[in-house]
Amino acid sequence: MNLTHEIQSIVYAIPGTILGITLHEFAHAVTSYALGDPTPRYDGRLSLNPLRHFEWKGTLCLILFHFGWAKPVMINPRYYKNPRVGSMLVAAAGPLTNLILSFLSLVIYTLSLLFLQGTEAGYMIGTFSQYSAFINVGLFVFNLIPIPPLDGHHILGGLFPPIRKLYSRFPQAMTVILLLIVFTGVANGPLAYIDALVIQKVWYLAAMFLNQVLPLFL
């Protein structure tokens, strides 16, 4: 890959990355708030302003190296009627939002091919939306890894209390394990395989949706 193509890839990845991170964190905040926790509102996280959610080093790493982080949304599960279930719902809201964004991105990509093919606008919209789809699937899959501080560990810990206790006993060890997985690349193959499976299913759902909706407008 030459330098020009590398720069183009980074530029195309920026909108999807900004959208994915912002809505991921906003989903955590709004879900916790809906469950009765005022903490995200006090912290100013009930916002669609990306600046409220970005941690700049983490965002830059995500764009350049496909691994990064955002500013964590602070929550207080004691406000929930059921803290265990509430924590799981809040954790799941972020990755689920990325999955929905991937679906919408593929719908936009397909519409750009159908109605703007051969135009500069169609090329730009199609390219940005295609990058957004893959970025958000990547965020969905990566955040479901059940290792702290990723969202997957809240879900798995909520389902299995003994595992939650294990997380709390060895928090630093868990962080080291995650860093080793990321920087050694040992999980790159499995993650890429899962990403491909997920994007295939999302493509299928987007195609089904458009097959049902487009005839209503044509």
Residues annotated as part of the active site: 25
Contact of 106 with 133, CB cutoff 8 Å = yes
Virtual torsion, Cα 130, 131, 132, 138, nearest 10 deg: 120
Q: Please report the DSSP string for the chain in residue order.
A: --HHHHHHHHHHHHHHHHHHHHHHHHHHHHHHHHTT--HHHHTT-S---GGGT--HHHHHHHHHHS----PPPP--GGGSSSHHHHHHHHHHHHHHHHHHHHHHHHHHHHHHHHHSTTSHHHHHHHHHHHHHHHHHHHHHHHHTSSSTTSHHHHHHHHH-HHHHHHHHH-HHHHHHHHHHHHHH-TTHHHHHHHHHHHHHHHHHHHHHHHHHHGGGT-
Q: Which amino acid is at 41?
A: R
Rounded distance between C-alpha atoms, residue 1 and residue 57, angstroms: 24
Rounded distance between C-alpha atoms, residue 60 and residue 120, angstroms: 28
